[in-house]
Chains A and B, each alone.
Chain A
Amino acid sequence: MGGHSSWPEWIYIGVVVALLVWVGAEAWNVERLVEHIPAEAKTIIVTGQQWFWTFEHEDGTKEIGELHVKKGIPYKFEIGSKDVIHSFNIPDYLVLMDAVPGRINVVWFLPVEEGEYPIQCREYCGLLHYNMRGTLYVEDGA
């Protein structure tokens, strides 16, 4: 110990804190933007159960394991579960929200490109967790 000066450490801590403030502020700002759900978003009720996904559109049509949506329309997922905790995940659209029994969690997204995208379960839910998959079809809705 002894004869060292501590100013390099103070500068270092200052830089670290400044970087962390920047990270926090940026994250806060982006989270605020992506969490704001557009008022005209269409609701899709998503239900997870061991080990498949059920989707119910606003007009009452139901789909199992497949989800058809129209390009350019914002959708709001209302996610629930019938048995254990699952996590509804469309990796290509960064949609991720746990399906918790007894709760409804909400997340929204905007499909922008036509195509097929995988849907998967991201929270461990038992025997066929690895195969609790589905497909998102984004179709031209114009």
Chain B
Amino acid sequence: MMLVRAFISHYRRHPLQLAALALMIVLATMLWTGVTVLTDQARTSLFQSEQAVATRVHVVRTDAQPVGVDDFAQLRMAGVCVAPWLEIQRPPPEGRVIGIDPLAMGCFGEAAPGGNAGELDGAPFLDISEAAKLADDGYDSRLYLLTANGSVVLPEGYALRDFSLGPSTGELADSFLLNLDALSLLVLLITGLLVRSVHRLGIAQRQQSFDLLYRFGVPRERVRQFLALELVVLTGICVLPGLWLGAQLAGMLGGGFGQALDSLFDVTVYAGSAESLPWQAAGVMVVLVLAVCLVDWLLPRRWQTAAVSARGRLLAVAVLLFGLVGVALAPGLGWVFVGTALVFAGTGWLTPGLLALLARWLSDRTDGKASDPLTRWRRRELAVMFSHLALPVVALQFAMATVLAVQALVTTFEQTFDEWLAQRLEAEFYVEVPRGADAGLAAEHLQSLAGIGAWHRVIRGEARMTVDKGESVPVDLFALTPVSDLVAGWTLLASIDQPWRGLEQGGVMLNEQLARRRQLDVGDNLTVTIADSVISADIVAIYADYGRPAGEILVAGGALPESFRARFESFSVNPGDLDMADIREQLADVWSVPEVTVRDNASIRALASQVFGQTFLLTRAISLLTLVLAAIALLIMGWVFFTTRVWYFRLLGIWGLPARAIQRQLRRLSVTLTLAVTMAALPLGIWLTWVLVSRINPLAFGWSLPMDLYPLFWIELGLVAAVTGLVVAHLMRRQLVQRAGEAQGET
């Protein structure tokens, strides 16, 4: 009991210490809970998005006649779950609307095409009776009968065809989720550092009490046991409000995103907030808090002293270098993660010492302004602060580096995704060539149309590429004819001058995946077998092809031999001065079919962009939360630290420095501290961005993301750091004024 009273007595005399640790555990739990919930939501949202835009199946008549109401009724009465999907194309600004029958959708259960259609308000869904009225008004319309994927037994006279609501986001989504997981791990690391920093500060301040207890005969082991017990109780109490706050925060952020994003075709893809508290996050936090606070007892004491010795620093440099080299040369993802962990460990180990060293070096300089005693004092003091605030400084550095990397990653993803969409949906409309129809006739017809915009014919099929030792491997074949302006927006990672002309003249382009896998580059010669012809061609460009693993070669349509049979053909068309409905009718006449499938690429593009938009927002929220917590930690630490240094700062006044000048010095001191941390975070953040886009993605998926830097964001981050410094200075000033008042009261 005596020991319990002694422990409680300490906190009665120093309640702020207890409050600081409790606050940090609450905030850390809140952050981790928020991150866990948001990450889960991002994952679920992406999954739902994928489901919403996934390829479906529709039923067609084998006599090539368009399906109608009678077909719908007949199929339903035969027990086939089909639902009508009546697309109406109207001129801008109204655009496309889709008539659906919610009652018919019932048989799909949760897997209804288009997901939960939301309100039937014409954006774009409306009740099919309303859509039918529009069709009756003369707008271009087309009825589809959608059915579920999988085994559907159809009556005679009907067949299944693919029906795509939008492009599949494929591996792009997987890549994003992988990076999100890596980000969560970083957040956990930062959280641990912050908790440890506050806990260690408290332990240092209580050291005298522990020594006293030891002199009274309490074994050190017993004190440790009580400290562990104290931490367990405190953590147990504090994770609960942290858990609740984290869930609230995630709900608030997530809810805001959900409202802000109309999402794809009004399909609800935002996963929403979890109904119950994520208790597993609490478990992780309890383990983390205990681990980071009690790890000192588990490590041999000489290890701890060695860490800050010269030999320790050398070891840190070795760890850092080993990590950097490891990441650069890593053959697999696992090694990249290990290498990244080593780089973080080495950086965190070295940063406070290096910053302190730099501050001391600057203080020792005697030239020019540096000879000013106050400047020298401030730099010395800064060096002390870097040493004493090592853990929060490192935590802030990590948090800032993470924010930098996430910002770059998200922005890069957004740009990449736009380019990816532009590449695939380059034209306003996409016309599917009906099975058995002659695409050449349509090409001739389009060629003859005056006033039509850019268009090209897309041919897809298979080819074989000869690799080492005469062996050949199958690759996807992609051909374009004519090579129109529609390809102007393509991202070429490497190319000869005028690559598209090179393609027309018999060159070949490769997608990045194939080039990486076969270590091919621009200028290399390639032997490709297409149908029964063997073609030898130079590689004229390597193009970015995000989102799928398959290797692909691109040739001009003229290079295809007569014997080649396309697997799939389509036209990408900008109608220009013409009306797409007219072009559609003309193509139907050319092909002698009653209906031609035309898809509005702008809608698909808008749809896909919205799907990713919300996930990017969630990621930004995670990094912002991390930064906020790191800043709060620094505030707490700065506050506690300055409390212990107040007597020292007061000496400045005793030496004759006016109060206003002292405050100015403190302001400069704290802002320099936070800005220095920002500067230290920059290289780490840039390196982390590179790891995410250039190492993790190629190893995981075979394609890289472009590496872009955003200096404007660095400035924004610097401003945040400066504001944090100013708040710390403000707290210091309050401490000084308060203590000065107390001192006067005592005299």
Q: Do A and B come from one complex?
A: no
